[in-house]
Structure 1
Amino acid sequence: MSRLSIRSVCAFAACLASGAAFAEAPAQTNAQVLKICAAKSQPPLSMEDGSGLENKIAVALAEAMGRRPDFVWSTKPAIYLVRDYLDKKLCDVIVGLDTGDPRVATSKPYYRTGYVFVSRADRQFDVKSWSDERLKKLGHIAVAFGSPSEVMLKDIGQYEDNMAYLYSLVNFRSPRNQYTQIDPGRMVSEVGAGGADVAVAFAPDVARYVKASTTPLRMTLIDDDAVKSNGEKVQQQFDQSVAVRRDDSALLAEIDAALTRAKPKIDDILRAEGVPLLPPSK
C-alpha cells in the first residue's frame, strides 16, 4: 500500500521513531491461518469491514494458500504496521508494500502500477510526464505529503504557490514530526469540484474515487521518466508485493507459490477497482 512503503517511510522517519510500544502477546504460528497485519481505517486500501482493496487481495491470497484469513487490525495508520505489528510478531504478512522494501522480505511482485495525474475529463488534460512545461502554468495541484509527487512539485517550482492550499486540505495541521496525510478521496473531490486543476497520487489510492466520481474524471499514468534538475531520478512506477519478516523464508516461499494461483482473482480485484496495471518489472 502506498502509505506503507519506503516511499513514505523515509519522509516520516521522525514520526515512526516516536510511537509507543504495544502490550499484546506475539501471534502463535498456525498453518491453518494467515495472520494479516492491516490498518482498521485507511480507505480505500484497508478498512475493518474488509472492503479495502488490500483486504480483498489478502483474502484471495489466503484462499490460494488454503488458509483462513485472520486480520489483526491496527488503529494507527498503515505506515506503522511493520514496526508495531509485523516486527513484534503480532501478525505475519502485510499486503501492498513496494517490492524490495528493506524493512522486510518481499514476495515476487503480483502487480505493478504507478502515480497518476487525475483531471476533469472535460479539460482534455493530456500531460503524461513531469517534464511537460504545462504543469508550471497550472493553478492548484494536490499531492500527498512525502511522496514523489511532492518532490517533483518542489523541483518544478510549484510547491510554494501550492503550500497553503495543501495545508488547507488537512486543516492546516503540519506534517512535521507526525503522520499527517491528505485524504485521497479529498484530493479527487477537489479536482471534480474545480478546487484543484490536477491531483497527483499513487493509482491504488485514488482509483476507486475516480471511478465513483459524479464529475467525469480521467486518470493518466505518469511516465517513469521524472528527473530532478540535479539529474536525480524520481521513480513514478512501483512493483507491489506481500511482505513477511526478513527471516521468514518458509512463509515467503509459500506465498510466492500461492500468488501464482491467486493471480487471476487478484487481477480481477484490481481491474474492478480501476487500478491501471503495468507488467511487473522483476
Structure 2
Amino acid sequence: MLPQSRSRRRAGALLLTFIFGGFDGFAANAAPADRANADAREQAGVLRICAAKNQPPLSLEDGSGFENKIAVVLAEAMNRKAQFVWYERPAIYLVRDQLDKNACDVIVGLDSGDPRVATSKPYYRTGYVFVTRADRDLNIKSWSDQRLAKLGHIAVSFGSPGEVLLKDIGQYENNMAYLYSLVNFKSARNEYTQVDPAKMVGEVSSGGAELAVAFAPDVARYVKASVTPLRISLIDDDAVKRNGEKVPQRFDQSVGVRHDDTALLEQIDAALVLAKPKIDAILQVEGVPLVPISR
C-alpha cells in the first residue's frame, strides 16, 4: 500500500523509495544534471519548479496552491522568476518522473531528509491533526485518548500514520467499509489512492465522520472555510504502537533538489532566510498550525 502524500509522513517510506526511486541498491541513480543548462538558467534568472497540476490545496495549475505561492516567494528571494513545470499526475510522482529526469530543478514541500533528494534547511514544521466539529467539544489531542475507541466513523488517509494507528487501536476494521466508500471502494493496495482532503473535512462537517486525521497543510484551508465551525488540533507527538514503535506525528518541511545540485541548494538555503516573513504570512493565511522547527 502506497503512502498518501509524496514521500511525506509515511508508514511505508522504504516501499515508497523502492517504487518511486531513491536509495542506492533499490533504484537506479538519477542521471547527472546538465550543468551547462543549469548555469544558463541561473544566468537567465529562472527557477524551474516541479509542481502537480491538481493537488489541492498544495498545488494547482492556476497558482492558487499555497506551495505554489511559497515557490514564487522563494524564487523572488533568489532574484529569479518562478517557472512552473506542471505535471498531470499526483505530486507523489514528481521526484521520479520530473526532478530525476531533469525536467525541473526544485520541489517545494518535502519532508526534511527525504532520501530521494537533497533537502534544504527546514522552513516550517507542522504535523498531523484531529479535525472535529466544534459543537462536539471533543478536544482530542493524542492517540492515547481512550475516547477514540468509542467514536463512530473516523476518516484517515490510506498509507498514513493515521491508518497505522487506527489499526493499532483496533478500530480499522470497524471503519474499513466507510473508508473505502470515500474512494468509491477503489482498492488502495499496490497503487496510489488518495482520499480527497476536502472530502474528509466535509465528512466531519456533515456528521458523516466524528473525526478526521490528516496532515495539517492538506486540510487547514478547508477547515478554515467550513460553514460548520470545526476544531483542528495538532496531535501530540507521543504516538506509540503497542509493540513500542514510535509513529511520528510532526515533520519539518523543506525544498528538495537533485543530490548533485549543491550550489542550487546553497542558494535556496540563503533565500529561505530572506523569504521567511512572506512564507510565514502565507502559512498564517492558509491556517496551518505551526510548531518550532526541530533543527
TM-score, normalization by structure 2: 0.90
Q: Aligned partners of 2:19, 2:112: CA distance in 1, in Å? A: 23
Tell me the amino acid that sits aligned with residue 129 of structure 2. Answer: V
Match of 2:259 in 1: 246
| Contact residue 226 and residue 235 of structure 1 kept, 8 A | yes
Match of 1:7 in 2: 9
1:22-171 equivalences under 5 Å are: 28-29=37-38, 30-31=41-42, 32-171=45-184
Match of 2:229 in 1: 216
Shift of 1:12: 5.0
| Contact residue 14 and residue 178 of structure 1 kept, 8 A | no
State whether structure 2 residue 275 is matched by structure 1 residue 262.
yes
| Contact residue 6 and residue 98 of structure 1 kept, 8 A | yes
Tell me the amino acid that sits aligned with residue 186 of structure 1. Answer: K
Match of 2:293 in 1: 280
Q: Aligned partners of 2:281, 2:17: CA distance in 1, in Å? A: 35
After superposition, the Cα gap between the structure-2 partners of 1:145 and 1:14, relative to the gap in structure 1 and judged at 3 Å, is: farther
Equivalent residues, number: 274
Long gaps (5+) in structure 2: 22-33
Tell me the amino acid that sits aligned with residue 7 of structure 2. Answer: S
| Contact residue 95 and residue 241 of structure 1 kept, 8 A | yes
Tell me the amino acid that sits aligned with residue 127 of structure 2. Answer: G
Shift of 1:59: 0.4
| Contact residue 191 and residue 198 of structure 1 kept, 8 A | yes
Shift of 1:6: 4.1
SS in 2 for 1:7: coil
Tell me the amino acid that sits aligned with residue 218 of structure 2. Answer: D
Shift of 1:4: 1.4
For residues 32-63 of structure 1, the C-alpha deviation after alignment (integer angstroms, 9 at most, x for no partner) is 10000000001000000000010000000000
For residues 209-260 of structure 1, the C-alpha deviation after alignment (integer angstroms, 9 at most, x for no partner) is 0000010001000000000000000000000000000111100000000000
Q: Aligned partners of 2:16, 2:184: CA distance in 1, in Å? A: 19
After superposition, the Cα gap between the structure-2 partners of 1:168 and 1:15, relative to the gap in structure 1 and judged at 3 Å, is: farther
Shift of 1:14: 7.6
Match of 2:26 in 1: none
Q: Aligned partners of 2:167, 2:17: CA distance in 1, in Å? A: 20
Shift of 1:127: 1.0
Long gaps (5+) in structure 1: 18-25
SS in 1 for 2:9: helix
Identity of aligned residues (%): 71
SS in 1 for 2:190: coil
Q: Aligned partners of 1:13, 1:252: CA distance in 2, in Å? A: 21
Tell me the amino acid that sits aligned with residue 217 of structure 1. Answer: L
Shift of 1:7: 2.9
SS in 1 for 2:84: strand
- Tell me how large the CA RMSD over aligned residues is: 1.7
| Contact residue 128 and residue 249 of structure 2 kept, 8 A | yes
State whether structure 2 residue 204 is matched by structure 1 residue 204.
no
Shift of 1:3: 1.2
Shift of 1:141: 0.3
Shift of 1:149: 0.6
Q: Aligned partners of 1:222, 1:133: CA distance in 2, in Å? A: 14
Q: Aligned partners of 1:4, 1:241: CA distance in 2, in Å? A: 13
